Chain A
Amino acid sequence: MKGYYLKKVLSSLFVLFIIITLNFFLPRMIFSDPAQPYYAGVPEDALALREQIREANGFNDPLIVQYLKYLGRVFTLDFGESHYYKDSVWKVMFSRIPWSMVLTVSSMLISITFGILYGAVAGKRREHAADKVLLWLSGVTTAIPSFWLALVSVMLFAFTYKIFPYRGAMTAGYTLSMNGSLFLIVLAVGVVLSVVLKLLSKKNLCIFIGVPVSLTAALFASVPLADIVDVAYHAALPVMISVFSGIISYALLVRNSMIAVTGEDYILTARAKGLPAQVVLYKHTFRNALLPLITNVGMSMAGLMGGSVLMEKIFSWPGMGQLLLDACNNGDYLLSQAILLLFAVITVVCNFITDLVYHKFDPRVKEV
């Protein structure tokens, strides 16, 4: 068990090392002069001044020295300043992460909830119309690019019928007037309350429900209601489109694994024990059928902060995907380096969490 995790940690570190190395070499392959972004405002013929800038930023050092210096900066979490936004890379990124999460977290929660429900219904009764519709939909939606679906719905709902806005996350700008300290206070109170409740009742459910509830409460307490409504109004269309394909893919996963588990021998044992059909379904079939879902959700969790580039581009949503796209187009490589590294770290961490959670639910893996 310990050996398994040690191996996992080592391979994760190896992945991060490769990403850091790529981060270092890619800009030096893309730009003929990697110091290009530093020359802002310096005329092309001011060679002496340019040389001075190169020297000052260490671009004249041997490559290996530059590489080691870059490694040092990564380990001290110093990503420098974005040339385009003229601000610290950290600040730029953190102004965008919440926006990506608004879209991805809400659409993922809705997709998982309804996907499981739909999949359970379809898997329980295979001859049922719900099952046939699901199979048909999944056959068709995999052949339709989701961004085209988004374009069509924008044209339909935002332009032809003008029900939803077509761009941005808020009517003006993308800065929420948020009372940070109030948010933290409410959140802390909520979390402490749910932990106390858990200790009193000894039910994990208290944590699972308590934390999200206190998070929502903190949001509603610290942000003006009008702003929340405004954001929800802007997010409605992109969320609906992601949810559409999300529900179908989760439902198909749950359906297939429900059918596989229903044929297992231990379901027969459970029925022979004389357990009511509902108990067989929820305690035996469902619990085993949801195992593949854990891996799947874990994988897509990594995309939570990354957001969806296509959706963000179509709706001009100020998220991380859009930020990375702009950084690539502007040659703002210090920013894109940091974003890529952040994504890699998130992916590695999410993989780790998925493994832990999976082990908790499926005791058989412990022997790996």
Chain B
Amino acid sequence: MNVLEIKNLKILFRVGDDFVRAVEGVDIHVGEGERVAIVGESGCGKSVTGLACMKLHTTPPAYITADKFEFVSHDGTPHDILAKTENEMLALRAEEMAMIFQDPSTFLNPVMTIGEQLDEVFIYHMHMKPKEARRHSIEMMKKVGIPDPEMRAGQYPHELSGGLKQRILIAMATSLSPRLLIADEPTTALDVTIQAQILQLITERCEKEKMSLLMITHDLGVVREMADRVYVMYCGKIVEEGTVDEILTSPRHPYTKALIDTIPGMEEKVDRFVQIPHNVPHPMNKPAGCYFSNRCAYCTDLCRAKQPPLFDRGNGRKIRCYYEVEELWEK
């Protein structure tokens, strides 16, 4: 059973009298207890998709449409996220779906203590008295491995290290054991040594609370550790979908292959780093035809003429390319 099912999600942002096409028809589904990753370079629309799941965009400037946008809560009732009002969403956020953000230092309110910010979840969702809420907060801080939680609860965010702040955000997101946890690049702003601990913590929390995970990242290493299934996103479209092993060992879209090739190997020493030529196109200025055509090593006139659809290649494998992998490697 799917916890989250999105069909043909499109998101626009109004900038002046023009629109930025952030997400252009994305299908995503997350099964119960499944760990799904969305991979892509910055600006490809992955974070925007994550925020849309929680309905955190405001209209204007954001305009959202989808053929299906269904979330199934703990009690099994399906919710149409797009049809929900802001007030109806309040009950879903934190209780049914929660989010961890990228930079823990800017995502915590600087003038409220850690304790106050954690308490709010219990006070407004469980209708607890402040004292009781604080007891639960400290319990949660213990669960995410914060030493001396009583002292930390009285401190302000700027007094904590980045890793501790991210733990606080995880505690905040998982305190009501939601059904779906969305993690938006949770390790990007952290030191490498802390990253592994945080990923470990997220995995632990997901297993213990039986949460589904939607991991948004640009780091294929994180994907390998954290995901069962992967969506590769480029310029607001999904270009490849498959299980983590398939994607990482036998990529079939030129973009995915290029992405994997850019990872410097530990084993062999290379003369040059592999790069993908050019930059991600500006969202207001995407190329005609296939969006990857201007950077693709295998690009043809056909690619430049018309955007290919997402071909279903069976076994849950989907690729947005006209060519089979054998055809590509021939060139």
Would you call B94 an interface residue if the criterion is a C-beta within 8 Å of the partner chain's C-beta atoms?
Answer: yes
Would you call B107 an interface residue if the criterion is a C-beta within 8 Å of the partner chain's C-beta atoms?
Answer: yes
Residue pair A271, B107 in contact (C-beta under 8 Å) = no
Would you call B169 an interface residue if the criterion is a C-beta within 8 Å of the partner chain's C-beta atoms?
Answer: yes
Given that A269-B172, A363-B158, A364-B158 are known contacts, is A274 also in contact with B109, CB under 8 Å in the complex? Answer: no
* 0/1 string, B92-122, CB within 8 A of A gives 1: 1111001101010011111110000000110
Tell me the smallest distance from the CB of A281 to a CB of chain B, in Å.
12
Contact with B56, one of A271, A275, A291, A363 (Cβ below 8 angstroms): A271
Look across to chain B and name the residue whose beta carbon is closest to the beta carbon of A287: B111
* 0/1 string, A69-112, CB within 8 A of B gives 1: 00000000000000000000000000000000000000000000
Interface residues of chain A: helix, strand, loop or mixed (majority)? helix
Q: How far, in angstroms, from A283 to B108 measured CA to CA in the complex?
A: 13
* 0/1 string, A337-368, CB within 8 A of B gives 1: 00000000000000000000000011110010
Q: How far, in angstroms, from A240 to B173 measured CA to CA in the complex?
A: 50
Tell me the smallest distance from the CB of A163 to a CB of chain B, in Å.
46
Chain B residues positioned under 8 Å from A269 (CB to CB): 101, 107-109, 169, 172
Would you call A284 an interface residue if the criterion is a C-beta within 8 Å of the partner chain's C-beta atoms?
Answer: yes
Contact with B124, one of A279, A284, A288 (Cβ below 8 angstroms): A279
Chain A residues positioned under 8 Å from B110 (CB to CB): 266, 288, 362-364
Tell me the smallest distance from the CB of B302 to a CB of chain A, in Å.
42
Given that A268-B56, A269-B101, A364-B158 are known contacts, is A275 also in contact with B107, CB under 8 Å in the complex? Answer: no
Tell me the smallest distance from the CB of B213 to a CB of chain A, in Å.
16
Best-buried of A266, A270, A277 by chain B (most CB within 10 Å): A266
Residue pair B107, A362 in contact (C-beta under 8 Å) = no
Residue pair B109, A266 in contact (C-beta under 8 Å) = yes
Residue pair A273, B94 in contact (C-beta under 8 Å) = yes
Chain B residues positioned under 8 Å from A275 (CB to CB): 90, 120, 124
Chain A residues positioned under 8 Å from B276 (CB to CB): none
Chain A residues positioned under 8 Å from B172 (CB to CB): 269, 273
Tell me the smallest distance from the CB of A368 to a CB of chain B, in Å.
12
Look across to chain A and name the residue whose beta carbon is closest to the beta carbon of B109: A266
Interface bin, chain B? 20 to 34
Tell me the smallest distance from the CB of B8 to a CB of chain A, in Å.
25
Contact with B106, one of A264, A271, A276 (Cβ below 8 angstroms): A264
Would you call A272 an interface residue if the criterion is a C-beta within 8 Å of the partner chain's C-beta atoms?
Answer: yes
Given that A266-B110, A268-B56 are known contacts, is A364 also in contact with B156, CB under 8 Å in the complex? Answer: yes
Chain A residues positioned under 8 Å from B108 (CB to CB): 266, 269
Look across to chain A and name the residue whose beta carbon is closest to the beta carbon of B102: A265
Would you call B160 an interface residue if the criterion is a C-beta within 8 Å of the partner chain's C-beta atoms?
Answer: no
Q: How far, in angstroms, from A364 to B121 measured CA to CA in the complex?
A: 24
Given that A265-B106, A269-B169, A364-B156 are known contacts, is A288 also in contact with B91, CB under 8 Å in the complex? Answer: no
Would you call B54 an interface residue if the criterion is a C-beta within 8 Å of the partner chain's C-beta atoms?
Answer: yes
Residue pair B94, A361 in contact (C-beta under 8 Å) = no
Would you call B125 an interface residue if the criterion is a C-beta within 8 Å of the partner chain's C-beta atoms?
Answer: yes
Residue pair B156, A284 in contact (C-beta under 8 Å) = no
Would you call B191 an interface residue if the criterion is a C-beta within 8 Å of the partner chain's C-beta atoms?
Answer: no
Q: How far, in angstroms, from A273 to B108 measured CA to CA in the complex?
A: 12
Residue pair B93, A271 in contact (C-beta under 8 Å) = yes
Would you call B89 an interface residue if the criterion is a C-beta within 8 Å of the partner chain's C-beta atoms?
Answer: yes
Best-buried of A273, A275, A279 by chain B (most CB within 10 Å): A273
Interface residues in B6-59 by Cβ distance below 8 A to A read: 51, 54, 56
Would you call B271 an interface residue if the criterion is a C-beta within 8 Å of the partner chain's C-beta atoms?
Answer: no
Chain A residues positioned under 8 Å from B91 (CB to CB): 274
Residue pair A288, B111 in contact (C-beta under 8 Å) = yes
Tell me the smallest distance from the CB of A164 to a CB of chain B, in Å.
43
Tell me the smallest distance from the CB of B85 to a CB of chain A, in Å.
11
Could you write out 14 A-B pairs with CB less than 8 Å apart? A265-B103, A268-B56, A268-B101, A269-B101, A272-B99, A275-B124, A276-B87, A276-B90, A277-B86, A279-B124, A284-B109, A361-B111, A362-B110, A362-B111
Known: A269-B109, A274-B92, A284-B112. 11 other contacts (CB 8 A): A268-B101, A269-B169, A270-B109, A271-B93, A273-B93, A276-B87, A279-B124, A284-B109, A288-B111, A361-B111, A363-B110
Closest 9 CB pairs of A and B: A274-B93, A274-B94, A265-B106, A363-B156, A266-B109, A265-B107, A272-B99, A269-B107, A274-B90
